[in-house]
């Protein structure tokens, strides 16, 4: 077993709930069962799946197991390379760390009332940053947290920095208590922890010269793998933020500024390093960077590079997409692709390149639920989609991207696919929001018509 320091944070953990024990595995042979808790490994309390993996990396371990009423100690033994055969119900065994800041642009505080409670959870947990790529502010890290990150080498982490100017941070981040995020940042990079950084850009606050100062500060440090600059988003359910970079000129100014950094960093380190969210290029009506300038898409989940990747994939699948289109009846627009307003131009261009005119049409759905400048497909609600299709009255099959649903098959306003179909009174199929998903949807419709 790897050496491990006991941290105060693990003491409060009740252990990890076993969701599944795989047949024939060491855990199965030892008599472990779903619903039981693993509280400790070789006497060390565990707070999350990272602790479990760290403490139980050897060939034999002693685990403290509880069924809720009694506790027993079980020995687990495995062969080299054999997994323990345990799946936990959650990655975190204790409570998720929540944000203790009061950021003026926090999207969670802009949500309307009445949504399901998990949507209002403002997590700021470094463990979810390591496990899932969630961005954290570092303002709630303790000395023990930093020590654990370094000891277990939880790298890379994803960090929301926004600015290195103390006055701007006070205005934007509004940390409750002392803001030691920059100090923590340096402690982590000096210990060899790689960081992906996010900057939410707010007009007139942390852009312009302030952005240059932040990028300069970051460029002076090793271990900053990527920097993503995204425009502030706002809904109609707040009044603190009223503008972003939706105007063509405003977005173009940011692109020009960041391009200077991109050229400089490619000259220095042969990587683009700092990347802009797709919205900037779409709003500026500017060409997207070449594929190689995205450095392998390190912040794809942050909305950076989605358009470029979609265009590239569409070109790769162009022959197959055209074949699927030609299998549909000519001059009969049997298929309507549902999308958010922001992605509509990209989708239209892709369909046009594949000669889809007359066979496939687009339905760009405005986000009336959130309002503001929210226009990405992933934040569309079931009600907006259903109402838009019902009002469209075109008929045929409507293709809805799966990004509007969570793992439980629910949209942000708690509607499932059947509920949307009832509202829309139309035939709806769901597919992935990439070019392969488009191809699969076209082939499915074509096969259904045979």
Q: What is the per-residue DSSP string for 65-91?
A: EE-SS-EEEEEEE--TT----EEES-S
* Domain final position from 304, 330, 352: 304
Q: Measuring CA to CA, how many Å separate 259 from each of 162, 166, 265, 274, 326?
A: 18, 26, 10, 9, 41
Backbone dihedral region of 43: left (phi > 0), alpha (psi from -120 to 50 degrees) or beta?
left
Per-residue pLDDT of 252-263, as tens digits, reads 999 999 999 999
The CATH number assigned to the domain holding 261 equals: 3.80.30.10
Are residues 316 and 295 both part of a single domain? Answer: no
* The pairing of beta strand 224-231 with beta strand 44-45: unpaired
Position 10 confidence tier, pLDDT thresholds 50, 70, 90: very low
Categorize the per-residue pLDDT at 197 as very low, low, confident or very high, splitting at 50, 70 and 90. very high
pLDDT at 329: 74
State the pLDDT confidence band at 358, using cuts at 50, 70 and 90: confident
Predicted pLDDT at 3:
58
Residue where a domain terminates, one of 275, 304, 333 = 304
Q: Indicate the residue among 27, 54, 88 that finishes a domain.
A: 88
Query: What's the residue count for the chain?
Result: 450
Say whether both 182 and 318 belong to one domain.
no
As given in the structure block, the two tokens for residue 425 are 């009174």
pLDDT of residue 357: 81
3 in a structural domain:
no
pTM assigned to the model: 0.92
Domain that holds residue 424: 312-449
- pLDDT for residue 195 is more than 90: yes
Q: How distant, in Å, are the alpha carbons of 201, 304, 383 from that of 275?
A: 13, 7, 34
Confidence of residue 11 (pLDDT cuts 50, 70, 90): very low
Dmax (CA) of the chain: 71
- Give me the CATH number covering residue 56: 2.30.42.10
pLDDT(405) > 90: yes
Percent of the chain at pLDDT > 70 equals 96
Mean pLDDT of all residues in 130-154: 96
* Residue range 103-114: mean pLDDT, rounded: 90
């Amino acid at each position: 077993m790897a050496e491990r320091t006991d941290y105060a944070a693990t003491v409060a953990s009740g252990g990890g709930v076993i969701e599944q024990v795989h047949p024939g595995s060491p855990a199965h042979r030892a008599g472990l069962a779903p619903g039981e808790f693993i509280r400790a490994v070789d006497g060390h309390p565990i707070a999350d799946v990272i602790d479990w993996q760290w403490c139980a990396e050897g060939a034999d371990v002693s685990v403290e197991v509880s069924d809720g009423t009694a506790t027993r100690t079980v020995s687990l033994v495995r062969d080299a390379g054999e997994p323990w055969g345990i799946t936990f119900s959650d990655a975190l065994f204790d409570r998720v760390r929540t944000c203790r800041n009061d950021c003026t642009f926090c999207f969670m505080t802009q949500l309307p009332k009445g949504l399901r409670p998990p949507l209002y959870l403002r997590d700021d947990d470094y463990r979810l940053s390591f496990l899932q790529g969630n961005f954290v502010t570092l303002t709630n890290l303790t000395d023990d947290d930093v020590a654990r990150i370094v000891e277990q080498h939880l790298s890379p982490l994803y960090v929301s920095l926004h600015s290195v100017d103390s006055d701007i941070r006070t205005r934007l981040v509004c940390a409750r208590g002392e803001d030691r995020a920059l100090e923590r940042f340096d402690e982590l990079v000096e210990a060899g922890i790689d960081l992906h950084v996010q900057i939410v850009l707010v007009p007139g606050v942390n852009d312009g010269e302030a952005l240059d100062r932040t990028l300069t500060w970051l460029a002076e440090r090793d271990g900053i793998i990527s920097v993503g600059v995204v425009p502030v988003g706002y809904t109609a359910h707040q009044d603190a933020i009223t503008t972003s970079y939706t105007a063509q000129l405003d977005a173009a100014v940011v692109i020009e500024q960041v391009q200077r950094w991109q050229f400089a960093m490619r000259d220095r380190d042969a990587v683009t390093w700092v990347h802009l969210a797709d919205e900037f290029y779409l709003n500026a009506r500017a060409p997207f960077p070449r594929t190689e300038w995205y450095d392998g898409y390190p912040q794809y989940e942050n909305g950076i590079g989605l358009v470029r990747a979609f265009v590239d994939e569409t070109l790769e699948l162009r022959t197959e997409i055209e074949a699927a289109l030609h299998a549909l009846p000519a001059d009969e627009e049997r298929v309507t692709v549902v999308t958010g307003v922001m992605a509509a131009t990209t989708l239209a261009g892709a369909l046009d390149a594949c000669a889809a005119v007359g066979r496939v049409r687009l339905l760009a759905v405005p986000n009336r639920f959130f309002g503001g400048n929210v226009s990405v497909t992933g934040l569309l609600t079931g009600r907006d989609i259903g109402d838009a299709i019902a009002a469209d009255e075109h008929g045929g099959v409507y293709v809805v991207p799966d990004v509007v649903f969570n793992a439980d098959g629910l949209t942000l306003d708690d509607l499932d696919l059947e509920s949307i179909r009832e509202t829309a009174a139309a035939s709806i199929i769901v597919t992935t929001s990439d070019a392969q998903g488009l191809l699969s949807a076209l082939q499915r419709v074509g096969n259904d018509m045979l």
